[in-house]
Amino acid sequence: MEDLRVTIVQPTLTWEDVDANLAMFTNKLAPASTDLIVLPEMFSTGFTMNVSKVGEGMDGKALQWMKKISAEKKCVVTGSLVIKENDHFYNRLIWMKPDGAYEKYDKRHLFRMGEENQTYTAGKDKIIVSLKGWKICPLVCYDLRFPVWSRNSVGYDCLIYVANWPEVRSYAWNHLLIARAIENQSYVIGVNRVGKDGNDMPHSGDSAVINAKGLIISKTKPNEESVETVVLSYKELEEFRKAFPVAMDADKFKLE
């Protein structure tokens, strides 16, 4: 299996301004050469409940931008958007491929402390996507707190969390990312924003790429805008799983 080049983007976002954010990302990604670009949760707007202003359909501006960048860079682009569909709003992660095809995941665990559960409709199904033979499970922000949802029962190789996770809870973010990597014997990628949002809530970023041993292998620093490309080694992952096969003793369970 080939190694995987992953580019993580830790930006400041302009509140509810799709055009400004897309222009910013276009500029930041200009030099990128990679297999996968990972953007934060609600990357075109910030984490907003103002869905009547920023919600867009599946033919909207931000999704079309993802399609354009994916084709130009010949890589997958992923991140979540505010999507309106059949009179419902979704915090929807898009997995955009270079040929314009895409897969989608609607955030399952909606952040009730921010009234997300009163504004958006929760998803029901996880997705496992494939890239260069790698199996990848993409999730969104608050999903990180629920380990049953991310349990590696299907043999994925990389778990992704795109987020708008505030600095006040950064201790939980940093430690739960490491825990998810160790318990699932998987690479974990966490991508978060920096700066204050429209509610004056500060975000420290703390974006990271973590290997299956729980070690951070990226160099992105908190509280700084950053674009970093990290290489994931499948050989290293496979060797560790064979030498220390924790999954063989995992408890069996069913989600209802």
Catalytic residues: 41, 107, 141
Q: Find where tokens 């201790």 sit.
A: 171
d(CA 104, CA 67): 13
d(CA 70, CA 100): 8
Residue 40: name the closest of 178, 172, 180, 197 by CA: 197
**Which residues are CB-contacts of 54 (< 8 A; sequence separation ≥ 6)?**
16, 18, 44, 45, 48, 82
Kindly state the helix (H) or strand (E) to which residue 83 belongs, with its residue range: strand 76-85
**Which residues are CB-contacts of 160 (< 8 A; sequence separation ≥ 6)?**
38, 78, 136, 137, 138, 139, 188, 189, 190, 191
